[in-house]
Amino acid sequence: MKAPAHSYEEPPGARAAGERRRRPEEPAAEDELIMHLERDQFVAETSRPVPRATLERRSVVALCGLRLFAGVVSVMVIYTFIEQLH
DSSP letter (8 states) at residue 15? S
Displacement of CA 54 from its chain's centroid (Å): 16
pLDDT tens digit sequence for 7-44 = 445 555 555 555 556 565 655 666 666 677 788 888 88
Q: What angle do CA 51, 38, 49 make, to 5 degrees?
A: 10
H-only helix segments in 3-56: 29-35, 39-46
User: The whole model's pTM is what?
Assistant: 0.45
d(CA 29, CA 15) in angstroms, rounded, equals: 15
d(CA 48, CA 45) in angstroms, rounded, equals: 6
